[in-house]
Amino acid sequence: MTAPRGWDWDAGAGPARLVAELAATGLAWIHAPGLVEAAERDPWAAAARILGERPELVERQPIRALPGGRSFSSGTMAAPFHSDSQMCLGVPPQVQLMACRRPAASGGESLYLDTWLLLERIEREAPDLFAHLFETSRRIPFVFGDVFGPTVSLRGGSLVFTHSAIPEEGDAVARDLRSFVESAPPIEVRAEAGDVVAIHNHRLLHGRRAFSDPAREFLRLLVWRPGPFPAPDAWHARASRAAAVGEPSDPAARHRLSVVLELLRGVPAGVLSKREAVPEPQLYRWRDEALASALAALGKPRSD
């Protein structure tokens, strides 16, 4: 199944249209060469322009083949379906942005899988597995670290589907789920230079086809937004009856943290002071308090 062709970016109406498409289908595909270039120079500003809102956090990762590359980001191998589940305060990024600098001459197509359609099928065909997805806490292994909790869980108030490309021996839920994932029809996107493909990362799994052209180059931005996308009420309620993970912290504290992160990445204190109506000395106190807390936490004996 091929995704609908992308549309040309419009700076005025584009952000609202893109966010609406992510909320409705989980995927938006745009042609925006200027934003691809902007993502290289200033990923935070590019993410803000694309989504029409200030992100809480942005993680940048070049995706290009390197000699001897063994990871999905540095290799040419096919990538099985998985979620990007790196955590910030217990919540994975709501949005993945894939900015295409150069596609492979052949192969390398991006593949996506809508887990909401997958859950509907599992609920019909395998109700016991459906229950386990919401109720059984699992160790879900990733290269960046293990994730613990149900496959479908509430994290920071958002309904999140977590799935790893790394097989876990002896995990019956993972085994039974994998047969459904592998038999589901994927959404295929062949991005061209200047395209940006955005997905609702809590809903869509992603992967790719193998390729051999070393010129293929993308830039991946993982974006944590201020709030979740809507989710089906019945599933949200079912997940809420299990143990939620990464429940939202005090909104005012999270906002202050987002301001500190902007200060750390170089946004001038005067700009932030005017925008937030907060004196500059207070901004610097927030920064010192945040860094002191981080230093204290990092100075504790490691438990791993």
Same domain, 194 and 52: yes
In angstroms, the first-to-last Cα distance of the chain is: 43
Report phi then psi at 66, rounded to 5.
-120, 150
**CB 75 within 8 Å of CB 201:** no
Say what the pLDDT of residue 1 is: 64
In a domain, 179, yes or no: yes
Task: Give the separation between CA 152 and CA 130, rounded to whole angstroms.
Answer: 10
97-128 per-position pLDDT tens digit: 999 999 999 999 999 999 999 999 999 999 99
Task: Kindly state the average pLDDT of the residues 209-230.
Answer: 96
- Specify the DSSP class assigned to residue 146: -
Same domain, 91 and 180: yes
pTM over 0.85: yes
Same domain, 154 and 277: no
Residues 6+ positions from 26 with CB-CB distance below 8 Å? 112, 114, 116, 199, 200, 203, 204
242-278 per-position pLDDT tens digit: 866 655 568 889 889 999 999 998 999 999 999 999 9
> Between the CA atoms of 230, 2, 8 and 19, what dihedral angle is there, to the nearest 10 degrees?
0
**Residue range(s) defining the domain that contains residue 159:** 7-241
| Whether residue 3 has pLDDT greater than 80 | no
CA 21 to the chain's CA centroid: 16
Q: What is the pLDDT confidence band of residue 241, given thresholds at 50, 70 and 90?
A: confident
Say what the pLDDT of residue 303 is: 60
In a domain, 129, yes or no: yes
Task: Give the separation between CA 264 and CA 290, rounded to whole angstroms.
Answer: 11
**CB 164 within 8 Å of CB 65:** no
203: nearest Cα among 288, 96, 100: 96
Same domain, 202 and 259: no
In a domain, 100, yes or no: yes
In a domain, 1, yes or no: no
Same domain, 161 and 288: no
In a domain, 2, yes or no: no
53: nearest Cα among 290, 255, 265: 255
Report the number of distinct structural domains present in the chain.
2
Q: What is the pLDDT confidence band of residue 5, given thresholds at 50, 70 and 90?
A: confident
Residues 6+ positions from 238 with CB-CB distance below 8 Å? 134
Task: Kindly state the average pLDDT of the residues 234-241.
Answer: 94
Residues 6+ positions from 27 with CB-CB distance below 8 Å? 3, 21, 112, 187, 189, 197, 198, 199, 200, 204
